[in-house]
Structure 1
Amino acid sequence: MQARVKWVENAAFIGETGSSHAVVIDGPPDIGGRNLGARPMELMLLSVGSCSAVDMVHILKKARQPVSDCSVEVDGRRADTEPKVFTDIHLKFIIKGKGMNENQVKRAVELSADKYCSASIMLKRGGVNVTHSYELIETP
């Protein structure tokens, strides 16, 4: 797996993945950023959230659950001093479907958290307190 980050100007960069997808990255105005893109640490939250969401949908579909929507609200807390690493990250899954089995949803969260989500597990091993919750919404 590879990626490339290319400086554009000031604190703006273009990130390109090995699969040829690009993302704009920019720093805050106090270091010369112009708010052109996501901050690097925001991308880390998106990374852990998307890694877990992919797992959730895959696990629920494999369990033949009628999932119709999945979103993840990711809340990260950082240390007050440099380096301002994440100390706590909470992922709240919002799962929608008609006739979903709550035990299957709970199991999918546990599997993602403990076995499959590389990003979440890597952060936990690095000392970040990563927690998970879910809300199951029955759809008509």
Structure 2
Amino acid sequence: MGITNIEPKIIATTRSVINRTQYQTTITGGKHTIIADEPEEVGGTDTGMSPYELLLASLSSCTAITLQMYINRKMWVVEEIIIDQQLYINEGFTLITSNLTFKGDLTDEQKKRLEVIAEKCPVHKILTGEVKIETRIM
């Protein structure tokens, strides 16, 4: 049982394996595999995105998918959604900035609506909500 009296619903699982290659980690989820690593300047081999980059990738991809679903429902003409993000860590807080660019035929009102929709993606809600992490030795 989890941290509450209600059994949580599993929505995703992954496995990360690290061996003798310094910091290079193989991550599998479902039928997919990616590599995470650290840059060479901190001792990694730079063969994959850093964990911080993967965090931003998760948020930006979820945001892009959420926006595309909304745009499709509204039948708006958008050829491309570009999301540039930055992660800042300061003493006492973390800041993520997301800059959205749309290639297509959108009014200012539609763009303002998409800015609101961007913050409704499930990963955004997780990151801005209460998160509890349980760590156990198996």
Aligned-partner Cα distance in 2 for 1:70–1:78: 26
C-alpha deviation, 1:76, in angstroms = 1.1
Query: Which residue among 6, 14, 27 is the counterpart of 2:26?
Result: 14
C-alpha deviation, 1:3, in angstroms = 0.8
Question: Does the CA contact (< 8 Å) of 1:75 and 1:91 recur in 2?
Answer: yes
Question: Does the CA contact (< 8 Å) of 1:28 and 1:39 recur in 2?
Answer: yes
Count of matched residue positions in the alignment of Structure 1 and Structure 2: 119
Question: Does 1:95 find its partner at 2:102?
Answer: yes
Partner of 2:86: 75
Q: Equivalent residues in 2 for 1:59-74 (5 A)?
A: 59-74=70-85
Question: Does 1:109 find its partner at 2:128?
Answer: no
Partner of 2:3: none
Aligned-partner Cα distance in 1 for 2:86–2:41: 23
C-alpha deviation, 1:31, in angstroms = 5.1
| Paired amino acid for 1:42 | E
Aligned-partner Cα distance in 2 for 1:108–1:61: 12
Question: Does the CA contact (< 8 Å) of 1:78 and 1:87 recur in 2?
Answer: yes
SS at structure 1 position matched to 2:47: coil
Unaligned runs of 5+ in 1: 128-140
Aligned-partner Cα distance in 2 for 1:21–1:4: 11
TM-score, with structure 1 as normaliser = 0.75
Give RMSD over aligned pairs: 2.1
Partner of 1:38: 49
C-alpha deviation, 1:94, in angstroms = 0.5
Q: Larger % of strand: which?
A: 1
Of structures 1 and 2, the one scoring higher in RCO (CA 8 A, sep 6+) is 1
| Paired amino acid for 2:121 | C
| Paired amino acid for 2:43 | G
